[in-house]
């Protein structure tokens, strides 16, 4: 709820989002119908953002715990897998974090899409060699509609869902009871219907024929495919370390899974490992690729680790669980404080820019964030065309950034003083900014 609107969030939350469905823009933009609807509501109504972030992340954590319990029921209270998954979510690498939790548009498409693959794995484990599970007609229909709706968030996960359900139908259906076989058929139908409805969108026709200005099947000079993106964004040393780490992790998971006796544990490990690679495979040829596209792989690998680690330390979980829960809460509070700071900066940026629109001068000042480690900025705030389009009236002014510590110091100097109006408050703040600018210019001239 506190995180700022960044990049195209600003457009989703204003005129573009308002016209997206009523004017039929969605018919040629993309097939992420539910993801787009979610980002529109999240950017327009802050309580929806609060509910959206909480609901979908909690659903992921909950499903990870359910998968663990289907493999082997915990001896005590459980929740180790859930608490560890929560910790890893808060510790998501910054490159991924900023495009998932630091960008509403990234979150709305890439996080909800992860729910169904985990739910599918849970259903497979629950019904594997268990032919006594009963499904009411209502439950079957709900799963069917979930299988359809799950396809309207992110294309690569849509493809993954189809891939997974085909594998399950081909290789596992003999291990299911008659009732779940019917449910599985509904899931197959739902995933295929959803994928069809997504990919008949006009945008993908343009991509297929190479006429889309943003996306392509061969890569583009701007964002390009996965390998080119990684090559541009990371040093050769970091890429080698990442590749070695993935290879070691993959080898360890395969060797360990082959040795464990629990069949469901084997299925879960291999399914998650395979999904982690399949979900990014389209980006070998599809562009643009961004770090947000790695979130699903990251969470699949996290799920493998936390579940197997939980099972290994089962005898000690009642002692370790309080520590894990404390760490999760501590990281949560820290993340909330960070989000509050980002949001406070964004709100002040908007207020100050709106004030400056009514002041006669040749310079427009922009308030910088404390850092940009956890938020997705396509450009520095003073060069952000999205922000300028909405909040900067005079585009011919000199665009000057003000350091975070300078403008917060200016804010502190007027804190506690009484003003007759908000305009008077902003005028006093503006005067403090001008004093800061003069001091900076005097230091630079020496």
Measured CA to CA, the distance from residue 93 to residue 89 in angstroms comes to 9
Residue 77: predicted pLDDT:
78
- Looking at residue 164, its pLDDT comes to 98
- Predicted local distance difference test score (pLDDT) of residue 229: 86
Give one DSSP letter per residue of 211-257, joined into a string.
--SS-BSS--SSS--HHHHHHHHS-HHHHHHHHHHHHHHHHHHHHHH
Instruction: Tell me how many degrees the CA angle 214-242-325 measures, rounded to the nearest 5.
Output: 95
Q: What is the pLDDT of residue 148?
A: 98
Query: What integer pLDDT is reported at residue 222 of this predicted model?
Result: 53
Enter the pTM of the model: 0.93
Query: In whole angstroms, how far apart are CA 165 and each of 12, 42, 120, 267, 271?
Result: 33, 31, 8, 14, 11
pLDDT score at 223: 55
Q: Residue 252 region, left (φ>0) first, then alpha (ψ -120 to 50), else beta?
A: alpha
For the chain, 446 residues long, the average pLDDT of each consecutive 10-residue run is: 91 91 93 96 94 96 97 87 97 95 95 98 96 93 98 97 97 94 97 97 88 74 75 89 96 97 97 98 90 96 97 91 96 96 96 95 95 90 90 93 95 92 95 92 77
Per-residue pLDDT at 214 = 77
Rounded to 5 degrees, what are φ and ψ at 76? Answer: -115, -140
386: tokens are 């999205």
Q: What is the pLDDT of residues 417-431, one digit of tens each?
A: 999 999 999 999 999
């Amino acid at each position: 709820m506190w995180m700022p609107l960044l990049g195209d969030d600003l457009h989703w939350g204003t005129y573009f989002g308002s016209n997206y469905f009523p004017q039929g823009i969605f018919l040629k933009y993309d097939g992420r119908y539910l993801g787009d609807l979610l980002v529109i509501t999240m950017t327009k109504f802050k309580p929806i953002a609060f509910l959206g972030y909480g609901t979908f992340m909690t659903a992921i954590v909950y499903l990870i715990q359910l998968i663990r319990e289907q493999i082997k029921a915990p001896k005590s209270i459980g929740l180790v897998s859930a608490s560890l998954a929560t910790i890893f979510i808060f510790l998501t690498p910054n490159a991924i974090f900023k495009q998932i939790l630091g960008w509403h548009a990234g979150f709305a498409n890439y996080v909800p899409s992860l729910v169904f693959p985990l739910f599918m794995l849970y259903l497979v484990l629950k019904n594997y060699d268990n032919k006594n599970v009963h499904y009411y007609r209502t439950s079957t229909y709900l799963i069917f509609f979930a299988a359809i709706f799950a396809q309207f968030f992110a294309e690569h996960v849509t493809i993954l869902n189809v891939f997974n359900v085909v594998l399950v139908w081909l290789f596992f259906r003999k291990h299911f009871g008659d009732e779940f076989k019917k449910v599985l058929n509904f899931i197959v139908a739902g995933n295929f219907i959803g994928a069809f409805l997504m990919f008949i969108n006009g945008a993908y026709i343009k991509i297929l024929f190479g006429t889309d200005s943003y996306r392509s099947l061969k890569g583009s000079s701007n964002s390009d495919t996965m390998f080119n993106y990684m090559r541009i964004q990371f040093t050769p040393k970091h890429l080698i370390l990442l590749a070695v780490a993935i290879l070691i992790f993959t080898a360890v998971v395969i060797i360990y899974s082959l040795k464990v006796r629990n069949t469901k544990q084997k299925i879960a490990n291999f399914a998650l490992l395979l999904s982690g690679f399949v979900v990014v495979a389209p980006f070998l040829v599809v562009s643009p690729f961004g770090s947000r596209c790695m979130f699903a792989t990251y969470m699949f690998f996290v799920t493998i680790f936390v579940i197997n680690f939980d099972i290994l330390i089962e005898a000690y979980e009642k002692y370790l669980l309080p520590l894990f829960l404390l760490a999760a809460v501590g990281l949560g509070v820290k993340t909330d404080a960070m989000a509050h700071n980002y949001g406070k900066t964004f709100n002040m940026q908007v207020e100050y820019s709106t004030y400056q629109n009514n002041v006669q001068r040749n310079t427009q000042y922009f308030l910088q964030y404390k850092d940009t480690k956890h938020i997705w900025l396509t450009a520095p705030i003073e060069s952000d065309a999205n922000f300028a389009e909405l909040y900067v009236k005079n585009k011919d002014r000199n665009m000057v950034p003000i350091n975070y510590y300078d403008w917060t110091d200016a804010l502190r100097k007027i804190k506690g003083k009484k003003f007759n109006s908000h305009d008077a408050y902003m005028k006093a703040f503006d005067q403090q900014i001008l004093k800061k600018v003069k001091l900076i210019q005097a230091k630079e001239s020496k």
